[in-house]
């Protein structure tokens, strides 16, 4: 049985234009487990797309050999709208130009409409409840009518992911080591993915993400429904997470091939593809709370110079970077240090020499304990 390819048209926002979203399917419709993978919902983030570029031929061979036992859905590039955003020879792709929405925000929270549909229909059988909830979620999405291109793109993606057992959204950071964003309710069940990709930091939202990201919309509704109906068994039926594949400039065949190999081994380990994935690599970290993530905001305008590399272990009070005032006539007093407020792993930073402005995020550190100034801020800043 060959793979199938859907080519989904998006509505035109200007006369004479049009875009297409491509979706590749492997395995038999309805087979379990179902894994959904997409890359580059922030369209300027290509390391994940490179991983899928190398994974797709591997899945093609597996399909031809009859090794795909479950169902795999791959969206090689999830944001054709953002692909067109080239301004003065610079590709952007993070925000929609029409409504100024972040492309990875404002996905639909299905918990409330699905709760209304399943009320009085739940049973003591967990699998029946899973089937009921998935059908209700797809029915809610089918009734939605998008009014513009970005809404239609969101619906296309959610309709193909919402009933998956595993959803993996592939992103990258500015300059970073490999890291993984998850739900606390999926830990340690998702620890095999974190270990397989070699994550240097794994951070969890608890109990739910504050912003309805793509990963969040696919995972949080199960948790919310379980809390809404505590007298009935509602498992966390979708492990939905975001992998951050290092930095924006880490786009090459060596990384792409290695990342694809790790994704393939994960699919084997989960029984979606047959074969022996070999031993699971030793985990490089354990999961820590998003509220323990120290975020360094620039206190002044200037130029960034870093003292620490991404992936470094740091201690509270260490200087991570300095903001230098390039107009200063007193260079000895032109530097404003930015220090860590926690022990942890510096997993994300900017490139050296990047202009900074007050309030700009300059680094992120995964720490083990919630920080007072991060209380109630479990999500990432834009």
Report how far residue 145's alpha carbon sits from residue 254's, in angstroms, rounded to the nearest whole number: 42
pLDDT at 211: 84
Sequence ranges of the chain with CATH classification 3.40.630.10: 4-285
Report how far residue 299's alpha carbon sits from residue 322's, in angstroms, rounded to the nearest whole number: 10
Residue 34 CB burial class (10 angstroms; 0-12, 13-18, ≥19): buried
Sequence ranges of the chain with CATH classification 2.40.50.100: 290-374
Query: What architecture (CATH level 2) is domain 4-285?
Result: 3-Layer(aba) Sandwich (3.40)
Give the Cα-Cα-Cα angle 21, 9, 140 (nearest 5 degrees).
Answer: 85
User: What CATH fold (topology level) applies to the domain 290-374?
Assistant: OB fold (Dihydrolipoamide Acetyltransferase, E2P) (2.40.50)
pLDDT at 188: 97
Tokens for 305? Answer: 């110079």
**pTM to 2 decimal places:** 0.97
The bridge status of strand 361-366 relative to strand 71-75 is unpaired
The bridge status of strand 239-247 relative to strand 166-173 is parallel
Q: Is residue 239 within 8 Å of 186, Cβ to Cβ?
A: yes
Q: Is residue 270 within 8 Å of 27, Cβ to Cβ?
A: no
Report how far residue 97's alpha carbon sits from residue 82's, in angstroms, rounded to the nearest whole number: 9
Residue pLDDT, tens place only, 276-294: 999 999 999 999 999 999 9
- CB atoms under 10 Å from CB of 369, counted, come to 11
Residue 86 CB burial class (10 angstroms; 0-12, 13-18, ≥19): exposed
Report how far residue 371's alpha carbon sits from residue 359's, in angstroms, rounded to the nearest whole number: 18
Radius of gyration for the chain, computed over Cα atoms and rounded to the nearest angstrom: 21
Report how far residue 348's alpha carbon sits from residue 173's, in angstroms, rounded to the nearest whole number: 7
pLDDT at 378: 53
Among 166, 116, 151, 153, residue whose Cα is nearest residue 137: 116
Residue pLDDT, tens place only, 213-272: 999 999 999 999 999 999 999 999 999 999 999 999 999 999 999 999 999 999 999 999
pLDDT at 373: 80
pLDDT at 209: 84
Q: How many residues does the chain have?
A: 382
| Residue spans of the chain under pLDDT 50 | none
Residue 90 CB burial class (10 angstroms; 0-12, 13-18, ≥19): exposed
Q: Alpha helices of the chain — where are they, by DSSP H?
A: 47-64, 80-83, 111-118, 126-143, 149-161, 191-197, 214-228, 253-269
pLDDT at 380: 60
Sheet with 71-75, side-by-side order of all strands: 4-10, 19-27, 71-75, 34-39, 166-173, 239-247, 179-183, 201-205, 287-289
Tokens for 146? Answer: 């998008």
The bridge status of strand 19-27 relative to strand 4-10 is antiparallel
Report how far residue 360's alpha carbon sits from residue 19's, in angstroms, rounded to the nearest whole number: 33
314-344 b/e with 16+ CB inside 10 Å = b? Answer: beeebebbbbbbeeeeeeeebebebebbbbb
Tokens for 12? Answer: 């035109």
């Amino acid at each position: 049985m060959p793979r199938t390819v859907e080519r989904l048209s998006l509505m035109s926002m200007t006369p004479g234009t049009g875009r297409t979203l491509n979706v590749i399917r492997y395995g038999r419709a309805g087979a379990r487990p179902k894994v959904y993978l997409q890359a580059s919902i922030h369209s300027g983030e290509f390391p994940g797309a490179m991983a899928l570029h190398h994974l797709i031929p591997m899945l093609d061979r597996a399909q031809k050999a009859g090794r795909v036992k479950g169902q795999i859905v791959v969206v090689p590039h999830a944001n054709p709208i953002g692909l067109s955003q080239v301004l003065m020879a610079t590709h952007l792709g993070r925000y929609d130009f029409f409504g100024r929405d972040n492309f990875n925000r404002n996905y639909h929270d299905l918990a409330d409409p699905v709760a209304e549909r399943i009320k009085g229909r739940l049973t003591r059988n967990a699998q029946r409840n899973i089937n009921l909830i998935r059908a209700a979620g797809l029915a809610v999405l089918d009734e939605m009518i998008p009014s513009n291109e970005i809404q239609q793109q969101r619906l296309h993606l959610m309709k193909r992911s919402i009933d998956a057992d595993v959803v993996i959204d592939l992103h990258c950071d500015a300059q970073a080591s490999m890291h993984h964003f998850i739900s606390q309710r999926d830990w340690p069940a998702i620890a095999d993915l974190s270990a397989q990709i070699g994550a240097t930091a794994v951070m969890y939202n608890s109990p739910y993400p504050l912003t309805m990201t793509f990963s969040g919309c696919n995972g949080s509704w199960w948790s919310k429904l379980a809390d809404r109906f505590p007298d009935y068994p509602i498992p966390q039926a979708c492990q939905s997470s975001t992998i951050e594949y290092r930095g924006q400039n880490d786009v090459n065949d060596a990384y792409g091939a290695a990342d694809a190999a790790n994704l393939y081994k994960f699919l084997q380990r989960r029984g979606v593809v047959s074969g022996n994935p070999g031993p699971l690599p030793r985990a490089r970290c354990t999961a820590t709370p998003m509220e323990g993530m120290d975020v360094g905001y620039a206190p002044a305008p200037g130029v960034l110079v870093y003292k620490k590399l991404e992936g470094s272990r740091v201690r509270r009070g260490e200087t991570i970077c300095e903001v230098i005032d390039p107009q200063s006539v007193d260079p000895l007093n032109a530097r404003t240090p930015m220090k860590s407020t926690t022990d942890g792993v510096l997993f994300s930073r900017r490139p050296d020499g990047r202009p900074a402005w007050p309030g700009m995020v300059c680094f992120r550190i995964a720490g083990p304990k919630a920080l007072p100034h991060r209380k109630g801020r479990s999500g990432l800043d834009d």
